[in-house]
Amino acid sequence: MNNELGEELCLLQPIDPLPADADTIAQDFRRYLDYHLGRFLGCDTVYLYHALAYVTRDHLMADWRNTWLHYQDPQLRRAHYLSMEYLIGRSLGNNLLNCELAEPMREAMERFSIRLEDVEAKEPDAGLGNGGLGRLAACFLDSCATLGLPVIGYGLRYEYGMFHQHIENGHQVEDPDHWLRDGHPWEIERPEFAQTVHFGGRVEHFTDAQGHEGARWTDTEDVVAVPYDIPIAGYRNKVVNTLRLWNASATSEFNLMEFNAGDYAEAVALKNQAENITMVLYPNDATENGKELRLRQQYFLTSASLQDVLRQWDGRPIEDFAKFNVFQLNDTHPSIAVAELMRLLVDEKRLPWEQAWEISRSCMAYTNHTLLPEALERWPVNLFESLLPRLLEIIYRINAEFLAEVRARWPGDMERVRRMSLIEEGPVRQVRMAWLAIVGSFSINGVAELHSSLLRQGLFRDFYEMWPERFNNKTNGVTPRRWLAHANPHLAGLLTDTLGDGWQADLARLEGLRPLADDAGFRERWCEIRHYNKQRLADLVAHYAGVRFDPSALFDVQVKRIHEYKRQLLNILHIIHLYNCIHSGDEERVPRCVLIGGKAAPGYVRAKEIVKLANNVAAVVNSDPLVGERLKVAFIPNYNVSKMEVICTGTDLSEQISTASKEASGTGNMKFMMNGAVTIGTYDGANIEILQAVGEDNFFLFGLHADEVAALRPQYEPQQYIDADPDLAAVLQLLESGHFNAVEPGIFDGLIGSLKSPHDPWMTLADFRSYIDTQQRVEQAWHDTERWSRMSILNTAASGMFSTDRTIAEYNAEIWRLKAIG
């Protein structure tokens, strides 16, 4: 046996799992603390967290390796999830839960008089995402591992994640999130699998000795992509999948240049430019801003990931590639993959174009996450030309062949050709990334029934007419491990007592709760747990917002990114209406605590004004002695994954109030429902499916439907609503009087103007009356404690279909077609 093979065999051996008893864990913990970290028991808790994380990671290693070994089977088809964002949050608690280590770990810590919760709280959130799309990717990874599916997540290892938000005088202020500062104990750097990614340069065309034409991309600036692997443990099934995040680093040529005395500083500056690629996550959610660095990031992720997959394919017949590999594109952000795979197959593997196209088109699948026009990515052709010249050539050729198909199918329909072209003509020619993703994929899906049908009828209509069989729906979900079992341990205990173990990975079993809604004893236990969770939430609010919430009040919560289409403004108008009611002596109202939280994109002025208004209204309401305990309003700063783990368990009323047709799905709505909150919502996104699952009696529906929104838009006259509705008029009058900005005259004029404009795309005032009336129905229901607890139980009972296990099972059955382990 030669040495290399020997080493390889040795590498391929499985390793044994470590003993998971409290004694061993306690010992290992001390060893990490004393011998690895060089700290001692009385040190800052953050080091205790590091020691615990290392101990936990050690326990994942054997299964991680065995899973990886299993995936080396050449007969195994694999999926590659490409996403610019993974909003993971904390990992320790989740890994302890999934690997059944929580109890021995707790016991081990008790020996040192350490509370496990205190240590868990020291873990910084990995905020490598903006909002829904990034969190969905994280939930998907959890479900893929739990279902034993060979799926690897590919992403970027941003040095700075989503900014931290703090509030100064009511305004949002952003602070950098240097989440890696103290090190990241979950990751393993694997420089041996580094890839090189090219930028810039020019393209040479040639004919080879066999007479085949070829292209050479030369004089490029190269950047090295170094992978960092993070283990993703399935729920108690010994499967550990991988999230592979790329870090940009300068090539060794840069280092050589550094020695080139003359240009030392210049060389180091170039090195920085290379490493800048993965420096920071763009904090825009749903607005595309056309920055060159963003395109660099997208290509960097895509090229490194595709090369990594091809590296693993090396030595196998390329004709079989699509049989064993599938890529899921998380929105258009990685859609350059369509052209990059063509480049790798045609230029590097020297495949004929037609064969490469057949392969490429058979292994790409695209998920759309938004219909908002401002979110649709378009890149200027000249930016492409200078940054990725060879990819632009490839896109042009894809486009030429595609448009020939369109012309053949619809002869003479020039307008259709113009609409469908991958290149948008105009003063600035642009590449339409969504069109590229559609043309290059065998599957295109939306993320809720309504959203997928709007894609087919609207945005993607031309493409649907051409390839109806490519379009499908995959309604989103959330992982019940993090969002129920981990976030809500008391409720989880009750569920296990009632339904037996196993609901965590088979959420449809929650249906078994339905009959218990009629059981007074069960309702009482349910309410005790909810009360405990509400106290926990009240503590969180007191700590971060300095506002006291009384757990016996109705907890009314809207947390999500701040965006006009999500209509936090409608919520605020309702708060002002309640304030008016209290002032006019209306004694019917129930005590209510309203919580709002979320980040505004730093450049989104209107969204920042909404944050300011929420804070100002809160300040006025909370300090008004006449209001007292009847109404409290808080804005929780720096809303993130770990805060949501507390918030969703203590919420009574979940606000999902987007303008119908604008919220593709929503996933916060599912976290709330699963934990027993009742939704007040519009007929939008996954709200519709939540309503269907739980029934009209257990959901507060209001507002215009998507078709009504569309029909009303051309003749929308907000003033008519104001004239016809004294409550609305009073709310606006109070706002306009400067009551909430007495020392800051005029600051809300823009916001108020947008509400009153016939061009308000979100048509907030059209839904005001319906919203206010429905909120009153909420209060009637709340008065009846028994009815409310019934609704709460029935919401949890009906939440089974919103597990990402169901979502991922559908992706697998209809798109990926992978064989599960085991």
- Nearer Cβ to ligand 26W, position 284 or 303? 284
Q: What angle do CA 674, 569, 133 make, to 5 degrees?
A: 45
- Nearer Cβ to ligand 26W, position 133 or 573? 133
Sheet of strand 592-597, all strands in order from the earlier edge strand to the far edge: 631-636, 592-597, 554-559, 653-656, 678-681, 700-701
User: Would you state the torsion angle of the CA atoms of residues 749, 754, 755, 756, taken in this order, to the nearest 10 degrees?
Assistant: 90
Annotated active-site residue in 57, 296, 369, 482 = 369
Q: Which residue is nearest to ligand 26W (CB)?
A: 132
Ramachandran region, residue 219 (left: φ > 0; alpha: ψ -120 to 50; beta: rest): left
Cβ 263 vs Cβ 257: under 8 Å: yes
Select from 143, 284, 571, 679 the one that contacts ligand 26W (CB under 6 A): 284
* 807 touches ligand 26W (CB under 6 A): no
| Sole window of 104-112, 286-294, 523-531, 637-645 interacting with ligand 26W (rule: CB under 6 A) | 286-294
CA distance 464 to 419: 13
* 685 touches ligand 26W (CB under 6 A): yes
Annotated active-site residue in 378, 486, 530, 671 = 671
Instruction: Write out the two tokens for 198.
Output: 């090219």
For every residue of 337-374, DSSP letters joined together read HHHHHHHIIIIIS---HHHHHHHHHHHEEEE-----GG
- 714 burial class (0-12, 13-18, 19+ CB within 10 angstroms)? exposed
For every residue of 477-523, DSSP letters joined together read -B-HIIIIIIT-HHHHHHHHHHH-TTGGG-GGGGGGGGGGGG-HHHH
* 665 touches ligand 26W (CB under 6 A): yes
- Nearer Cβ to ligand 26W, position 666 or 676? 666
Reduced to 3 DSSP states, what percent helix, strand and coil does the chain have, rounded to the nearest 5?
55, 15, 30
Annotated active-site residue in 80, 566, 592, 608 = 566
Known catalytic membership, residue 566: yes
| Sole window of 174-182, 279-287, 298-306, 608-616 interacting with ligand 26W (rule: CB under 6 A) | 279-287
For every residue of 697-719, DSSP letters joined together read GGSEE-S--HHHHHHHGGG--HH
Name, in order, each residue with C-beta under 8 angstroms of 463's C-beta and a sequence gap of 6 or more: 420, 435, 438, 439, 444, 470, 471
Q: Which of residues 230-249 bind ligand 26W (CB under 6 A)?
A: none
- Nearer Cβ to ligand 26W, position 96 or 371? 371
Instruction: Write out the two tokens for 234.
Output: 């399935």
Query: Whole-number minimum distance, CB 374 to ligand 26W, in Å?
Result: 8
Q: Which of 137, 53, 66 is nearest to 95 (CA)?
A: 53
CA distance 29 to 19: 13
Known catalytic membership, residue 667: yes
CA distance 116 to 49: 9
| Sole window of 128-136, 152-160, 395-403, 528-536 interacting with ligand 26W (rule: CB under 6 A) | 128-136
Query: Whole-number minimum distance, CB 674 to ligand 26W, in Å?
Result: 15
Cβ 725 vs Cβ 768: under 8 Å: yes
Known catalytic membership, residue 171: no
Q: Which of 320, 327, 326, 323 is nearest to 301 (CA)?
A: 327
Sign of CA dihedral 43, 44, 49, 50: negative
- Nearer Cβ to ligand 26W, position 685 or 703? 685
Query: Whole-number minimum distance, CB 161 to ligand 26W, in Å?
Result: 14
* 689 touches ligand 26W (CB under 6 A): no
- Nearer Cβ to ligand 26W, position 249 or 278? 278
CA distance 555 to 543: 17
* 399 touches ligand 26W (CB under 6 A): no
- Nearer Cβ to ligand 26W, position 59 or 369? 369
* 478 touches ligand 26W (CB under 6 A): no
Query: Whole-number minimum distance, CB 664 to ligand 26W, in Å?
Result: 4
* 394 touches ligand 26W (CB under 6 A): no
* 667 touches ligand 26W (CB under 6 A): yes
Select from 131, 597, 676, 718 the one that contacts ligand 26W (CB under 6 A): 131
Cα distances (Å, whole numbers) of residue 616 to 158, 213, 597, 820: 34, 66, 14, 53
* 599 touches ligand 26W (CB under 6 A): no
Query: Whole-number minimum distance, CB 376 to ligand 26W, in Å?
Result: 8
| Sole window of 124-132, 211-219, 622-630, 777-785 interacting with ligand 26W (rule: CB under 6 A) | 124-132
Binding mask 136-155 for ligand 26W (x = CB under 6 A): x-------------------
* 377 touches ligand 26W (CB under 6 A): yes
- Nearer Cβ to ligand 26W, position 7 or 374? 374
Instruction: Write out the two tokens for 361.
Output: 């088109």
3-state secondary structure of 668: helix
* 664 touches ligand 26W (CB under 6 A): yes
Known catalytic membership, residue 369: yes
- Nearer Cβ to ligand 26W, position 25 or 286? 286
- Nearer Cβ to ligand 26W, position 85 or 645? 85
Q: How many residues sit close enough to ligand 26W to count as binding (CB under 6 A)?
A: 23
Annotated active-site residue in 242, 667, 774, 796 = 667
- Nearer Cβ to ligand 26W, position 133 or 277? 133
CA distance 754 to 567: 12
Query: Whole-number minimum distance, CB 662 to ligand 26W, in Å?
Result: 8
* 370 touches ligand 26W (CB under 6 A): yes
* 663 touches ligand 26W (CB under 6 A): yes
Instruction: Write out the two tokens for 317.
Output: 């017949």
Q: Which of residues 783-802 bind ligand 26W (CB under 6 A)?
A: none
CA distance 604 to 600: 7
Provide the terminal-to-terminal Cα distance of the chain, rounded to the nearest Å. Answer: 32
Cβ 439 vs Cβ 398: under 8 Å: yes
Query: Whole-number minimum distance, CB 695 to ligand 26W, in Å?
Result: 22
- Nearer Cβ to ligand 26W, position 247 or 661? 661
Binding mask 732-751 for ligand 26W (x = CB under 6 A): --------------------
User: Would you state the torsion angle of the CA atoms of residues 412, 416, 418, 420, taken in this order, to the nearest 10 degrees?
Assistant: -130
* 288 touches ligand 26W (CB under 6 A): yes
> Hey, what amino acid is at 647?
I
Select from 476, 659, 775, 792 the one that contacts ligand 26W (CB under 6 A): 476
Residue length of the chain: 822
Cβ 504 vs Cβ 662: under 8 Å: no
Annotated active-site residue in 157, 184, 343, 561 = 561
| Sole window of 130-138, 388-396, 487-495, 791-799 interacting with ligand 26W (rule: CB under 6 A) | 130-138
* 360 touches ligand 26W (CB under 6 A): no
Select from 48, 270, 286, 338 the one that contacts ligand 26W (CB under 6 A): 286
CA distance 771 to 769: 5
* 356 touches ligand 26W (CB under 6 A): no
- Nearer Cβ to ligand 26W, position 231 or 666? 666
CA distance 186 to 231: 7
* 132 touches ligand 26W (CB under 6 A): yes
Q: Which of residues 326-345 bind ligand 26W (CB under 6 A)?
A: 331
Query: Whole-number minimum distance, CB 597 to ligand 26W, in Å?
Result: 16
* 649 touches ligand 26W (CB under 6 A): no
Known catalytic membership, residue 759: no
Site residues for ligand 26W per CB under 6 A: 130-133, 136, 284-288, 331, 369-370, 375, 377, 447, 476, 663-667, 685
Active site residues: 369, 560-561, 566, 667, 671
